[in-house]
Amino acid sequence: MTENGNVFSLGDKHPQIADDVFIAPGAQVMGDVTIGKGSSIWFNCVLRGDVNTIEVGEGTNIQDGTVVHVSRRTHPTVIGSNVLIGHMAMVHGCILKDWSFVGLGSIVMDGCVVEEDGMLAAGAMLTPGKVIGKGELWGGRPAKLMRTLTEEQITSNRTASPHYAQLAQVYRSELKVD
């Protein structure tokens, strides 16, 4: 258990969390979950590594109210470094590569892959096994290719995760119970 009491072992499955990770109060992380340096898990997220594994790389942010889960035997969830996952997303049994962007309120289902700099628009549902190519923007329910992002949009998307990583360190040092 952490000082927030929100990191749990499940039998012999112990979360492995780098020292400077910010896990906000109300977030819950359990079982076979690995979280790399500088990542942040915001308020009321659930990362449930029970029947398969969850990996989160470095400098990644998983924003408030997001649920990350897995499928038994078939689909672990692998989230790379500097990934942005917006508020209230549902990320299930999929692979999100470095610098990918999952819009707020969107759903990523089993077997999906979001390649580097790939983006899923807010409110989208990426159905099982779909692959968002490098630098592509997909949106809608079910999600379809909307367009390819410009270099400027990719550069702009890439500013968000470092910003979140900084904000997380502010929260680590300044957040206090009133």
Query: Does residue 118 belong to the site contacting ligand COA (CB under 6 A)?
Result: no
Of 121, 132, 154, 168, the one binding ligand COA (CB under 6 A) is 121
CA 59 distance to own-chain centroid: 10
Nearer to ligand COA, 49 or 139 (CB): 139
Task: Please tell me whether residue 103 binds ligand COA under the rule CB under 6 A.
Answer: yes
* Binding of ligand COA by 139 (CB under 6 A): yes
List residues bridging with 132 in a β-sheet. Answer: 114
30-38, 49-57, 66-74, 118-126 -> range binding ligand COA (CB under 6 A): 118-126
Binding-site member from 46, 122, 131, 167 for ligand COA (CB under 6 A)? 122
Q: What is the 3-state secondary structure (H, E, C) of 27-80?
A: CEEEEEEEECCCCEECCCCEEEEEEEEEEECCCCEECCCCEEECECCCECEEEC
In terms of CB distance, is 22 or 31 closer to ligand COA?
22
Could you tell me the end-to-end alpha-carbon distance of the chain, in angstroms, rounded to an integer? 22
Residues that bind ligand COA (CB under 6 A): 86-87, 103-104, 121-123, 139-140
